[in-house]
Amino acid sequence: MRENNQTPNAGSRSYLAYGTLIFSGLAITILALFAIAKDTANTMTIFNIVLPVFASWVGTILAFYFGRENFESANQQVRELVQRLTPEERAKANVISIMRSLLDTVYFEIPAGKSDQDIKLQELRDKFGGKISRLPIVDAEKTPKYMIHDSSIDKYKAAGGQLEDTLEKFIATQKEAGYEYGLNKGFIVVSEQATLAAAKRKMDEIPSCQDIYITKDGSPDEPLTGWISNLRLAKYLEA
């Protein structure tokens, strides 16, 4: 069965088009009869003045509504084309096409003049909640330092850790237990020009890594542009 791609407003636009044409035809007919009845000598003059006005009005309305319909139809075709892409074709896309911008991300910034030993674990824990389960940690220059998941803090507490402990102690204790959250451990860094395929390959080389950070040229010393979680990447590639 052929799929109906007509937009929800297509029917109303058709009614509007027909209504506009019928109304214009009636208006011109009524005007013609009125002009002939009142002043036959100036009939052509009246028509020459009024007819272009009606024509412009009708043309403007039809162009606006049908032009908009064509635009929506083109957008729908593009969306359908993207949905038909294979995972291999999707993987060729640029990382910034699906990344979550830092501006749209809940993250923790270590203030200027402070370090890991000045940050309490409670400050990080307060950032979690709702749909927030991963927390990028950056310094005052927005360069990436860690990626911490809420489950990591929960495991730390279950092992006897306290929320009053410092970030420095948390990182050191977790490292002793075999868990690391820094560069090429908890996250990788790629450039804004990298493809999703290249980023995925780099992430897959590190078994414990589940997050991709993006900076302008791929340097960990640059401000963070955005990030992609392994879940977000998998969802896009398998859609």
Angle at 17 between CA 65 and CA 6, to 5 degrees: 60
Q: Could you give phi then psi for residue 204, rounded to 5 degrees?
A: -65, -20
Q: Looking at the whole model, is its pTM more than 0.85? A: no
DSSP, collapsed to helix, strand or coil, labels residue 103 as helix
Q: Could you give phi then psi for residue 100, rounded to 5 degrees?
A: -95, 115
pLDDT tens sequence across 135-147: 999 999 999 999 9
pLDDT tens sequence across 179-193: 999 999 999 999 999
CATH domain 93-238 topology: CBS-domain (3.10.580)
* Amino acid (one-letter) located at 50: V
In angstroms, rounded to a whole number, what is the distance separating the alpha carbons of residues 189 and 206?
A: 12
Residue 210 burial by Cβ neighbours in a 10 Å radius (0-12, 13-18, 19+): middle
| Contacts of 104 by beta carbon, 8 Å cutoff, 6+ apart | none
pLDDT < 70 stretches in the chain:
1-18, 20-21, 24-25, 28, 31-51, 53-55, 57-84, 239
| Domains of the chain, residue spans | 10-84, 93-238
